[in-house]
Amino acid sequence: MDFQHIVGHEDIIRHFKASIEMNRVSHAYIICGEADSGRRSLALSFAKTLQCEEGKIDPCNKCRSCVQADSGNHPDIIFVDHEKPQLVSVEDIRNNVVNTIDIKPYSSKYKIYIIEDGEMMNIPAQNALLKSIEEPPQYAIIIILTTTLDRLLPTIISRCITLSTKPVKERDIYDYLVDNFKIDDNKANFCVEYAQGNLGKAIKLATNEDYDRLVKSVINLETNIYKMDAESIAAVITDCEKSFKISMSEYLDLMMVWYRDILMLKVTGKIDKIMFKDQILTIREQSKYLSFNELEEKARAVDRAKIRIAANAKLEDIMKLLIMTLKEI
């Protein structure tokens, strides 16, 4: 893993390289962006480059430090874990950062902490971390990965350099998928449209073992929504978790592709940009009886459901409410 192998994110990479070149590396960074958007690769590449014994703006990939970084066993690149699934607690931060930061690096120039799921840090955890960010030892660098800045204290944000990921170009994602996974044009386009600039998401879908059945499930839901009952909604949720291995939120993103297809057909009248190509009859039919307003309402309902999923509401309840709303529209 290094900068050269990262697709997109040119601005962030340029920032990292310039800071190394000018010897102005900060003690604290926030990398903000969607899950799977490449934040971890960016943080790891930056850390690996900083620790490389050659000390250049790209890692040499040969020295002991580079080898350790690649194997995931670098003693001075520390990924901060958390014990509870949706919470980074004050104990996590104390045990993994605060209590160890004063111990000098084991073998490298820096001691680099990468805190994943930064948005899951509660207030006490952030307050504990604040001290380490305010008065870090010379060698320490803290990189916080987060999906949103909203859950971070202003005092944390003000002391960090914040870098936000931007969507990767569709063409770059397409090329990456076709080059690496030998998938056909249709599937690559579908994954690109679904991922909306998020390479990790595109890869996850492209390599999903149950891809065909997953797409069929979305088609089935969108075609038969009027007769969906509690039982079939529960079946969709079980399928997502058990066979498709995707989150409900990702499933909702697939539903959005369907609505964008209808919108595309309504606006352009052309079928070449349609993703659910073999469903053109249904898409055309729905595009006739759904108005622009109704399509927008559907998209909004899906967005609301995603927000409720992120807030940890009960999946069954969220999906029941969503299906009910979609039926009414």
Nearer to Zn ion, 52 or 264 (CB): 52
Nearer to Zn ion, 3 or 259 (CB): 3
Q: Which helix (H) or strand (E) holds 284?
A: helix 280-289
**What one-character-per-residue DSSP string does 168-182 give?**
PPHHHHHHHHHHHH-
The least CB distance from residue 145 to Zn ion, in Å, is 23
User: CB-based contacts of 170: which residues, under 8 Å, 6+ apart?
Assistant: 192, 197
Determine the Cα–Cα distance for residues 15 and 45; give it in Å rounded to an integer: 13
Q: Which of residues 50-69 bind Zn ion (CB under 5 A)?
A: 52, 59-60, 63, 66
The least CB distance from residue 21 to Zn ion, in Å, is 16
Helix axes 185-195, 199-206, angle to 10 degrees: 140
Largest CA distance in the chain: 67
Nearer to Zn ion, 52 or 199 (CB): 52
The least CB distance from residue 167 to Zn ion, in Å, is 31
Which residue is it, tokens 């670098």?
74
Which residue is it, tokens 């498709």?
244
Nearer to Zn ion, 111 or 308 (CB): 111
| Residues 6-45: x where in contact with Zn ion by CB under 5 A, - otherwise, as a string | ----------------------------------------
User: CB-based contacts of 268: which residues, under 8 Å, 6+ apart?
Assistant: none
Judged by CB under 5 A, the stretch of 49-57, 119-127, 214-222, 233-241 that binds Zn ion is 49-57
Interface size with Zn ion, residues (CB under 5 A): 5
The least CB distance from residue 160 to Zn ion, in Å, is 26
Q: Which residues bind Zn ion (CB under 5 A)?
A: 52, 59-60, 63, 66
